[in-house]
Structure 1
Amino acid sequence: MTSRRAPEGLITACLRTLAAEDGWNRANAYTAHYLALHARAAGVLTDLASDPDFLVAADPEVLAGALGSGLDPALPASARLFLRCAHQLRGREPDERAATLALAGFQHDIPLDLPRRHDALWWPLWAQVEPNAYHRVLAGHTGPVYAVALGELEGRPVVASGSGDCTVRVWDLRDGVAIRVLEGHTRGVNSVTLGRIDGRATVLSAGGDGTVRMWNPDNGAQVRVLEGHTHGVRSVVLGRLEGAGIVVSGSDDGTVRVWDQRDGSTIRVLDGHTHGVRSVALGVVDGLTVAVTGSHDGSVRIWDLASGTLLRILEEHTGPVRSVALGELDGRPVIATGGGDTRMLLWDLREGATPLRVLDGYTYGVNSIAIGDLGDGPVALTGSYDNTVQLLDMADGTPLRVLEGHGAGVRSVDVGHLDDIPVAVSGSYDSTVRVWDLSEDGTAHDWDDHTQWVRSVAVTLVDGRGLVVTVGNDRAVRLRDLRSGALVSVMRGHTDWVRSVTCGDLDGTPVAVTGADDATVRVWNLRDGTVSHVLRGHSDWVRSVCLTRSADRTLAISAGNDATLRVWDLGRGSTVGVLASQAGPVYSLAAGGSPGRPYVVAGGDDGSVRVWPLTGESDPLLLLRGHTDWVRSVTCGDLDGTPVAVTGADDATVRIWNLREGGALRVLEGHTGSVHAVVKGTLGLVPVAVTGSQDGTVRIWNLRDGSHVVLPLPGCTGLALDGDTLTVATQRGVMAVSLRPAPRRSWG
């Protein structure tokens, strides 16, 4: 090793000298691609990775592999920061990589000496985001990740993942590289497991195509296909029965099948569940090999695999059971079960008459459970549709960690070790696999900002000072300085999630209007934080609010789950009228027109866009159809003299509507997930729409020709555009970026 380090060190020194003379932004292709590998071989990569200019210049794929998992405590903070966002840097130009890395520095309070690049189309100004645990993102799947499993292949720690893209990927946990992509399933892969069959490393997968498949991970060859289920297979595990290797699978056909590992023949079919079997776990209790199965019929069943006898039915769940896991607590075998009824239950495997413990608080249910021991006793790891991974002490149910970072629901989890460091692995509907460091101190951060999702953002001017107003699931309304992001004040009063905020002027007083799940609309004085009015009348959640002028008064319009649009005189705090009900919940509103003929544009859950007059007529002016799913966001404005609305929907499209003639001017396609936020403005001389999506991106569209650029800003829930400053609300906080076009570049 020493003899190799000397020449590698010389090469590294030469390349660094050249880069210093030329500037990292002009580093040659060889340096960008290979310097990280030479530095690692020379043992100096840790020092090199402390230079943020090198992190920007280096090939992201190569550097991420060279740095490894990021769990090495000797790595500088800048290197771990790079690994956090490496998946967002791949395929990007250096200016975009610099902006993304600088934003990550703001988000994780790690200062980086990175001045704005002269060619950058966007640049972060500040970020106030709740800190989260260190984790590495493994990106490559093009569909939701339904399954993850930790294991080892010939001494190499790996994680296998199965996806809706019909593939299985095997990742090297140390460097985050996909070492094998296994293709053969014709529908999504719901379950994966790793083990040995006849002494050979094997990957098993179960898919929506009704098959279980065995793979040789060394060469990617498909060894065998197990067929017999008549519907998709949800779960597969390896085990032993009376000395012989078996495979056990659970299916949407309601059956559990036991297969012979050697030839793939069916040993036994276990019938009894009345709906699909979502999860299977194997264990041994008092010498008896048992299978525990969880089903959409709400039951958990325990089977004697040798005889096929049903031993016990556990029926405490009030919804579908999505996951079962086996472990040991205080010397006794236990079962952990979870599903759609917001609870995780812990059972004694021997007795099981009633749960040992009921753990509540899973608002969106439990999708996956894994049990492990990190050194201080057994723990349970869970994944949920609330986008989080949670770690619990099984002894008393105490929450140990909440791991946040996924941009969509977490479908699968596993827990284990990587080089003696405890780790969690999760797979999500956001198409990523994430590897979490569980060795860090899980003590809550000193965080006094939004503690849950931020749902909406607005920008306003109060006595000459630009302010950002944000609302969210923690029921608070927060004001912060637009320039610095510093918190100015917090206003409280709502008793449930606040979903929407808009700002305006009421007789010379700057106000914010908010709508919440407590069915109220509140009007706030932004000078002193007091509530001017609490507007009551809705019978369900208020999802959207907007403001406009009509004649000599200021109107607020609100709408939500009760399918009505209510118009309020903001000065008097009284109802002006209730517009005719839409077909279902209203998700978004925007006001347009003139004081003499104002209107409001409403997007609904039926994909429709309706334009309602605010001057007394009872029927909509226009009914616009084209979206095929919920219309989440709408904005109004003018496009070259034509009044338009721009809408974003769950069908992943953005549409521009001509409000004078009633037709669609253009469909903007590019997003691959639900579009949750739309805002219109002008950058330079170019009319633009900015959109935020569940696909992890914010996109800036030229409204004249439909061209767009992509900003890697995941988790966007709301947008506000003030000049060239874009404020972005996300699931974890709020940030501001500058969209000032760089010299020699424009948005046109």
Structure 2
Amino acid sequence: MADALWDDDPSADPTAVPGGLTDPGWLVCTDPDSVLALLWSSSQPQERWVATVYRASLDMHRRLTAAERRFVLALDAARLEKEGLAAQFAAVAVPGAEPLGWEPAWVRGSQADSRLLWTLTGHQGQVTAVATAVVTGRALAVTGGRDGTVRIWDLATGREACPPVQCPTDARSALTTAVDRIATATLDGREVALLFSELAGEQRLLLLDLATGALTGECVCVVAVAELAGGSAVLTLEDDRTLRLWNIATGEELGSSVPAQLLAGPHGYPAAVRVELGGAVRTWDLAGNELDSAPVDAAEQAPDPQAAALVVDGRLVACAFDALDIDHLRDGDTAVALLGDLAAACGHRSGAPVRVYQSVAVAGLPATLFREYGGSLRVWERVAGSRPGAQGWVVTTGELRGQPLRLPAKDPGEDGWFWRLADPAPALAADAGNSAASVLGTFVVAGRALRLTTDADHAVRVWDTATGAEVGERPFAGHEDRIRAGALAEVNGQLRAVTAGLDRSVRLWEMAGGRQVNGPLKGHTGQVWDVATAIVDGHPVAVTAGADHTVRVWGIGERRALRRTGIRSHEDVVLTAAMTTIQGRPAVVTAGADKTLRTWDLADGIPYGGGIAAEVSLMATAELDGRAIAVTAAPDATLRRWDLGTGEELGQAVAGPVGRVLALATARVAGRAVAVTGSSNGTAQMWDLATGQHLGQPLTGHTSRLTALATATVDGRALAVTGSWDKTVRLWDLATGRQLGEPLTGHADWVTSVTTTTLNGHPIAVTAGRDGTIRTWSLPDGRQYAEPLPCPTGPVRGLATAALDASTHLITTNGTETVSVHDLATGAELVPPLRCPAPVQSALTAPNGALVLCFGREIAVLSAVGGQASALGGAGSGSVRDADQPDP
């Protein structure tokens, strides 16, 4: 095992405990579930920091090898500003694996947060709803979203408590229910989740038993209520057009629903219904009379295999069928016609279609009907949430799970489709009742019922529902977009609020003083849709649901957060990066979706200046009159030049080539600094960086869009290498503007990436295609240099090269979180895959061999172990943004 974990924290305990949180080798090589048992019990400062680092990517550790985990732990330590820990994790020797090769030097824009406890992954779509509950002493979270699944998580272990629950599929539309909201409650002594959704224009509610993880039933649509056969009966409609008649008093089903065939009259409107009962075919007209034969000609019969009929005691009383052209109903909706005795009992004309409702009045009170799967009908009274009697479910809420029941907000008295599980709260004070206010939820904390609201200015307020008075000194202000959800919790005797919004942030507020606690909770890479709170092993936590397909669990009890450098970074995804030199020091330039350019000293990550405002899709760097400059291409193909030392724009913006700019590189031609652009019209164009004017005629030859571009100097001659959707690679003499030789063929699909380097002292171009191959080409003569190599993990989006330990390393990215490193000569894996916490947008090497990775909003610089690496890439990275995707 390695030495004790020790970094720049003077309070750290240097004493190693073999097999414990201070043993880096054990942490790297041990099964994560064995480490998990120690994370909650860490007590010493150093142990707590190590536990924080380990939790940052705990969801990844479980599916990684020890060699891959080594890099993730080192990177997360650097993201949390523990560079000493990062170096020690990187130095761990993993049996059977090569040394890491690079170790994290610094990270800027880190989204790692010391308060993150778990990242729960499994949903394949946006997670839109979350609620919490306690079942048999375990704190659980229930989540649902756009993938049509509901998942139950054990918050103490970060694992799913049971297999995912697949939501039902609509029988008519074949669409799967997507859960919009979730609430938890205690029903008949069982902990359950109520799943709210809307499908095919109809609102639905499902019930999930949290102890078993099984769906137990759903609310049903009501067609009619009538006094029939001496008692109250209700007719319900299910999504597959099944009709059921129930005795409200007993919950038992009356009659039977059977498939039916509709017989059309002269104008296509249903005239009769034909069913098969007991092996005999029977036919009724729409007055409910049984017929000896069909009243229409056989040629006009219109079978509808999805029609249904309800037969009670041998009599037809209702049928359901496609609405067709019926007034007030849409095609595809279900029309229900009441016949005979049932129509008369409801006061309807026999055979006339009736409306379908989602609630019903029982004993004069509004109620919702719920059908158990395989069981009877239940009546849920909508005012108080329970109905006395054998068929009424006792519904209770409380603080057992840290958060009481929260239902979608409805105005008191509004005829919503759901019921209320608590008496409506008194109206808020007049200044809180404005139309712009939105209720995030009502919560019971320390015996007080409190309501959380937000307004059009994204401010959050808390109100006492008993008095209508505002709680707290001032509203919480900080969100930059609409707030989607919020929750309240008691932390160390103080009231705290957690809010989540479309600005992708989760914020923690302290009621006393209305202050934000330790800045936003960082981690989600998409909008945050819902939030709930819970108590786990005595610790208060918040659970958030995100559009990034993840559920995240945060500790909200600590007042202290990890220190931050205070260096401002990108506020959105980093799109691309390039190397340059400023004042004689290597630097990296990054362009973000936040429309800024930022320049960083490669050695220590200190930025130059405050950033440059620019919308960038592609970028390259060059030297012009002794100044480091960046040339950028905007989405509208406009080219701009920027002085990276001063942040000033050089000259005027230049109208770029016709079509989108899909590739960009720089070169020096006859002593002149130039930019070369590749366009969606299949041409390349040179531009004078001093004047902004285009040089010569476009380089033509490709028959489809030009998607990859790099430059190199060979025997004093400036060359460009281009790749295209036409599956060819072409070489160009930039001094003459002529193509060199014939097109280089071999790729069987689009060419997506290109870079230039040397292999065994020979100048070559390296290209990658959507055909899953990497090919090398000799730049002096245009011949294929070696046998093709397979792409390591799918189509390559980016290429870079570096020399390390006397071999040429090929670094590839494919739009995922993985960076692969292989020997360019043999294709052998030289370093285990480097896993990042977000998709890698750019990877490039520096002159000193450092490796720069841009993932999400973060920029990480990895230094070569032993300092033996050197960059071999050409003057242009040839990076292509979405080059293999069609135009929208």
The TM-score, its normalising length taken from structure 1, stands at 0.64
2:428 matched to 1:456? no
2:360 matched to 1:371? no
Range that drifts further, 108-117 or 638-647: 638-647
Distance between the aligned counterparts of 1:679 and 1:59, measured in 2?
A: 33
Residue matched to 2:33: 61
SS at match of 1:489: strand
Deviation digits for residues 37-78 of structure 1 (CA, Å, limit 9, x no counterpart): xxxxxxx99994244344334321221244239899995212
Asked if 1 retains the 8 angstrom alpha-carbon contact of 2:542 and 2:554, the reply is yes
2:858 matched to 1:733? yes
Distance between the aligned counterparts of 1:344 and 1:304, measured in 2?
A: 28
Correspondent of 1:553 among 672, 675, 681: 672
Query: CA shift at 1:691, angstroms?
Result: 0.7
Alignment of 1:171-570 (within 5 A): 171-185=153-167, 187=176, 190-191=179-180, 192-205=182-195, 213-224=206-217, 260-261=369-370, 263=372, 281-282=407-408, 288=413, 291=416, 325-327=440-442, 336=454, 362=480, 368-374=484-490, 379=497, 381-384=499-502, 387-391=504-508, 401-418=519-536, 421-441=539-559, 445-453=564-572, 454-461=574-581, 465-472=585-592, 477-482=597-602, 484-487=603-606, 489-490=608-609, 492=611, 494-506=612-624, 509-515=627-633, 521-525=639-643, 532-537=650-655, 545-557=664-676, 567-570=686-689
Query: CA shift at 1:600, angstroms?
Result: 6.7
Query: CA shift at 1:86, angstroms?
Result: 2.5
Query: CA shift at 1:101, angstroms?
Result: 1.9
Deviation digits for residues 167-221 of structure 1 (CA, Å, limit 9, x no counterpart): 4332222232322223444757534443333221224556798886544333444
Distance change >3 Å, CA 521–CA 491, structure 1 → 2: farther
Range that drifts further, 443-452 or 327-336: 327-336
Correspondent of 1:679 among 786, 800, 808: 800
Distance between the aligned counterparts of 1:209 and 1:59, measured in 2?
A: 42
Residue matched to 2:143: 161
Distance change >3 Å, CA 570–CA 106, structure 1 → 2: same
Residue matched to 1:721: 845
Asked if 2 retains the 8 angstrom alpha-carbon contact of 1:84 and 1:137, the reply is yes
Residue matched to 1:120: 99
The alignment covers a number of residue pairs equal to 625
Asked if 1 retains the 8 angstrom alpha-carbon contact of 2:809 and 2:821, the reply is no
Which residue identity lines up with residue 48 of structure 2 in the other structure?
Answer: P
In the alignment, structure 2 segments of 5+ residues that lack a partner are: 4-15, 170-175, 222-236, 241-250, 252-331, 335-355, 360-367, 383-405, 424-432, 466-474, 869-888
Q: Percent identity?
A: 21
Range that drifts further, 698-707 or 52-61: 698-707
Asked if 2 retains the 8 angstrom alpha-carbon contact of 1:677 and 1:691, the reply is yes
Distance change >3 Å, CA 326–CA 76, structure 1 → 2: closer
The alignment's C-alpha RMSD in Å is 6.0
**Which structure has the larger Rg?**
2
Query: CA shift at 1:447, angstroms?
Result: 0.9
Query: CA shift at 1:135, angstroms?
Result: 0.1
Deviation digits for residues 83-121 of structure 1 (CA, Å, limit 9, x no counterpart): 223223224343433332222222112332446134433
Asked if 1 retains the 8 angstrom alpha-carbon contact of 2:125 and 2:549, the reply is yes
Alignment of 1:633-652 (within 5 A): 634-637=753-756, 643-646=765-768
SS at match of 2:56: helix
The TM-score, its normalising length taken from structure 2, stands at 0.56
Asked if 1 retains the 8 angstrom alpha-carbon contact of 2:103 and 2:864, the reply is no
Distance between the aligned counterparts of 2:723 and 2:501, measured in 1?
A: 35
2:109 matched to 1:137? no
Which residue identity lines up with residue 449 of structure 1 in the other structure?
Answer: R
Name the structure where strand makes up a greater proportion of residues: 1
Asked if 1 retains the 8 angstrom alpha-carbon contact of 2:120 and 2:158, the reply is no
Correspondent of 2:812 among 674, 690, 700: 690
Query: CA shift at 1:432, angstroms?
Result: 2.9
Distance change >3 Å, CA 168–CA 549, structure 1 → 2: same
Distance between the aligned counterparts of 1:71 and 1:48, measured in 2?
A: 12
SS at match of 1:99: helix
Distance between the aligned counterparts of 1:305 and 1:331, measured in 2?
A: 11
Correspondent of 1:103 among 59, 64, 75: 75
Which residue identity lines up with residue 574 of structure 1 in the other structure?
Answer: Q
Distance change >3 Å, CA 703–CA 230, structure 1 → 2: farther
Distance between the aligned counterparts of 2:686 and 2:479, measured in 1?
A: 37
Which residue identity lines up with residue 169 of structure 1 in the other structure?
Answer: R
SS at match of 2:161: strand
Larger RCO (CA under 8 A, 6+ residues apart): 2
Distance between the aligned counterparts of 2:189 and 2:613, measured in 1?
A: 60
Asked if 2 retains the 8 angstrom alpha-carbon contact of 1:382 and 1:389, the reply is yes
SS at match of 1:536: coil
Query: CA shift at 1:713, angstroms?
Result: 1.0
Distance change >3 Å, CA 224–CA 491, structure 1 → 2: closer
Distance between the aligned counterparts of 2:824 and 2:36, measured in 1?
A: 37
Query: CA shift at 1:157, angstroms?
Result: 1.4
Range that drifts further, 259-268 or 415-424: 259-268
Distance change >3 Å, CA 675–CA 407, structure 1 → 2: farther
Deviation digits for residues 380-412 of structure 1 (CA, Å, limit 9, x no counterpart): 62243x643345689999866422223444444
SS at match of 2:76: helix
Asked if 1 retains the 8 angstrom alpha-carbon contact of 2:79 and 2:107, the reply is yes
Distance between the aligned counterparts of 1:561 and 1:392, measured in 2?
A: 49
SS at match of 2:74: helix
Distance between the aligned counterparts of 2:724 and 2:522, measured in 1?
A: 30
Distance change >3 Å, CA 710–CA 515, structure 1 → 2: same
Query: CA shift at 1:726, angstroms?
Result: 1.4
Distance change >3 Å, CA 657–CA 47, structure 1 → 2: closer
In the alignment, structure 1 segments of 5+ residues that lack a partner are: 1-22, 26-43, 233-243, 245-251, 271-279, 294-301, 307-313, 351-356, 744-748
Distance between the aligned counterparts of 2:529 and 2:790, measured in 1?
A: 32
SS at match of 1:485: coil
Residue matched to 1:700: 821
Distance between the aligned counterparts of 2:53 and 2:507, measured in 1?
A: 23
Range that drifts further, 723-732 or 676-685: 676-685
Which residue identity lines up with residue 813 of structure 2 in the other structure?
Answer: T
SS at match of 2:99: coil
Distance between the aligned counterparts of 1:224 and 1:457, measured in 2?
A: 53
SS at match of 1:143: coil
Asked if 2 retains the 8 angstrom alpha-carbon contact of 1:205 and 1:214, the reply is yes
Distance change >3 Å, CA 203–CA 724, structure 1 → 2: farther
Distance change >3 Å, CA 142–CA 658, structure 1 → 2: farther
